[in-house]
């Protein structure tokens, strides 16, 4: 057997072994998700209104299950809208490793009309919308993007 053939067989073996490891991990991840589809959870959002009513800090805990053996994470693209219209208050993104719980926290700055409503005692509502994009071995898998159910927040 020549040197070129040995190198070719070595590279072929490494590629096949790597493919097998990734295939097993994908299967384990899929099985873990189908066995526990409720493993991904978002707590009810909490908010703290600033003393001048001009902003609020919104926070929630995101829980993610550990799936498979290789490192994976999820990127959350989150948008906060005023309820009933398309006024975008905040757009942000964060990445959470799978198998961890993370507190997400955003500061929402209100428009002057909203400050007047809050000061007058009229509650206002916001919608939190988002998408989750899985990241596998550092590569975003955009074709697996999943919408996050809309969450409504009412600020009294």
Domain residue ranges in the chain: 1-35, 38-155
pLDDT value, residue 133? 85
Average pLDDT of span 143-151 = 81
pLDDT range class, residue 69, cuts 50, 70, 90: confident
Say how far apart CA 135 and CA 144 lie, in whole Å.
10
Sort strands 41-42 and 55-63 into parallel, antiparallel or unpaired: antiparallel
Q: At 97, give phi and psi (nearest 5°).
A: -65, 140
Q: Residues 102-120: what's their mean pLDDT?
A: 82
Task: Report d(CA 64, CA 146) in Å as an integer.
Answer: 14
In DSSP notation, 50-90 reads: -TTSSEEEEEEEEE----SSS-EEEEEEEEEEETTS--EEE
Q: What are 14-68's pLDDT values in tens digits?
A: 999 988 888 888 788 777 767 776 667 778 778 888 888 788 888 888 888 877 7
Q: How far apart are the first and last CA of the chain?
A: 79
pLDDT of residue 1: 65
pTM for the model:
0.69
Considering the domain 38-155 in this protein, what is its CATH number? 2.60.40.1820
Question: Residue 110 above 70 pLDDT?
Answer: yes
Taking CA atoms, 55 is separated from 33, 36, 122, in Å, by 38, 37, 15
């Amino acid at each position: 057997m020549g040197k070129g053939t040995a190198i070719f067989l070595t590279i072929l073996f490494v590629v096949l072994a790597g493919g097998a490891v990734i295939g097993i991990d994908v299967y384990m991840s899929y099985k873990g998700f189908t066995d526990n589809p409720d493993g991904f959870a978002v707590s009810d959002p909490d908010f703290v209104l600033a003393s001048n009513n001009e902003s609020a800090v919104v926070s929630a805990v995101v829980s993610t299950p550990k799936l498979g053996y290789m490192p994976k994470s999820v990127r959350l693209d989150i948008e906060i809208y005023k309820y009933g219209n398309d006024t975008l208050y905040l757009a942000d993104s964060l990445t959470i490793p799978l198998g961890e719980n993370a507190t997400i926290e955003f500061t929402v700055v209100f428009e002057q009309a909203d400050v007047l409503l809050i000061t007058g005692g009229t509650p206002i509502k916001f919608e939190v919308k988002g998408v989750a994009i899985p990241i596998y071995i550092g590569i975003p898998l955009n074709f697996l993007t999943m919408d996050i159910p809309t969450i409504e927040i009412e600020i009294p």
